[in-house]
Amino acid sequence: MNLKNTLKALGPGLLWAGAAIGVSHLVQSTRAGATFGFEFVWVILLANLFKYPFFEFAPRYAASTGESLIDGYKRLGKWVVILYGVLTIATMFTLIAAVTSVTAGLVSNIFASSWNSLTMFTVVLLFTGAVIAFGKYSVIDKVVKVIIVLLAVSTIIAVISAFSGGFNPDPANSAHFDIASAADIALLLAVAGWMPTAIDISVWHSVWTLAKKEETGYAPKLKEALLDFNIGYIGTVVLAFGFLALGALVMYGTGEEFSGNGGEFAGQLISLFTKSIGNWAYWLIAIAALATMASTTLTCLDAYPRVLKPTTEAIFKKFKSDKKSKSLFWFWLIVVIVGSIGLKYFVENMRMLVDIATILAFLMAPVFGYMNYKVITGDNVPKEAQPKMWLKILSWAGLLVLTAFSLYFIYIKFYSEQ
């Protein structure tokens, strides 16, 4: 591969990582470590392993066909696009509300704001919407790259410092995972649901790949697109283990629990780092954490109107024109913002929003995973670009595992209420 062209291709994978490294890492991985120590290492490992093919299929499809996954869904039938649109609309308000709640909580805590949570939430979301409305893909691309490097460095330093203090939890306050417990299964699915992120976000990756191509004029080769993706994917896995370790080393066995209030949670989160590194690093950690969640809010809010626009055009042909296309983007951006603010108004608890979003993501994972598999093995994908046998086997194994856990959760939830 040509180094110059490889560097040109870098971007969509890191942008995807910017969307992934957020609630699943800062909130759920840290919370899992604080609750069960290192017992959830296997959850993170298996979730990333079994979901890998379905995320990898996005850059593979975009690079080999020049289409987004939405175009691929359309090839399977209009009903598939409608299904994707319905599932996306059903989850987008919860997802945006969850990530923005964490971001707003960090802003309130760091700057000691006296605003109530709903006001701060609204301000953060409107500001982010303005950046998206008047910005460009290239701006978001560059900002996220810097943020990921900053977060990675600060996280690695914090984990090394935390390990130097040893792992000595109090047995009296040390909980252990119980597979028969509905609450423990709910936490497992909350962690795995967005680990590394929800599978439907694979569509975003394919759309960003085409946006990168449009702005740079360079169409990345398949190997270059996959390298870009794998760098981002491996980075998200490493950082997930890092946040799990921080939760385990600093909070497990102390009897402390993370608050459901966004501002209080933010304070607890930042203290994890400062306890490990030292108070001198407060602003470094605060800025890194805030930048991480801000990038997640930014990329997620950018993605929804970006994918719902072509989804609407695929379902309703009358909207497929340059003038209407631009209006569609604005329409969906406003809908996402207004709907998320409305949801936040009725559901104040940040942890509840996060858990609902991540559990929904897990329950829908088999559906999106199967759709991606059907698209990448379609007749329009060149045979040499289709996944190898090992990747197909891993795909089916992933579908079986994701489906089994989803059904088990539904069963145990229903059984526990009897």
Instruction: Report yes or no on whether pTM surpasses 0.75.
Output: yes
Distance CA 369, CA 171 (A): 40
Token representation of residue 178: 């119980």
Joined together, the tokens standing for residue 316 give 């309703």
Q: How many helices (H) and strands (E) does the chain have?
A: 16, 0
**Kind and range of the H or E element at 258?**
none
Angle formed at CA 375 by CA 361 and CA 93, multiple of 5 degrees:
25
Q: What is the C-alpha to C-alpha distance for residues 117 and 123, in angstroms, rounded to an integer?
A: 10
CA atoms within 13 A of residue 218's CA, in its CB half-sphere: 15
Q: Is the dihedral of CA 337, 339, 342, 347 positive or negative?
A: negative
Cβ neighbours for 205, distance < 8 A, ≥ 6 positions apart? 12, 13, 15, 16, 55, 58, 59, 62, 229
For Cα atoms 399, 93, 213, give the angle at the middle one, nearest 5 degrees. Answer: 70
Q: Which residues contact 166 (CB under 8 A, 6 or more apart)?
A: none
Query: What's the average model confidence in pLDDT over 305-322?
Result: 81
Q: 7 falls in which pLDDT band (50, 70, 90)?
A: low
- Mean pLDDT of the chain, nearest integer: 81
Residues 6+ apart with CB under 8 A from 123: 104, 115
Write the burial class of residue 190 (CB in 10 Å: 0-12 exposed, 13-18 middle, 19+ buried): buried
User: Is cis: bond before 196, omega within 30 of 0?
Assistant: yes
DSSP 3-state of 183: helix
Burial of 84 (C-beta count, 10 Å sphere; 0-12/13-18/19+): buried
pLDDT at 338: 93
Compute the distance between CA of residue 242 and CA of residue 159 in angstroms, rounded to an integer: 6
DSSP 249-271: HHTTTSS----SSHHHHHHHHHH
Number of CB atoms found within 10 A of residue 130's CB:
10
Q: Domains for the chain: give ranges and CATH numbers.
A: 3-416 (1.20.1740.10)
> pLDDT class for 146, splitting at 50, 70, 90?
confident
pLDDT at 23 over 80: no
SS3 147: helix
Q: Is pLDDT at 150 greater than 90 in this prediction?
A: no
Site of tokens 């283990």: 241
pLDDT at position 298 is 85
| Per-residue model confidence as pLDDT tens digits over 255-298 | 667 676 666 777 777 777 777 777 877 887 787 778 778 878 88
CB 398 within 8 A of CB 53: yes
Calculate mean pLDDT across residues 57-79: 91
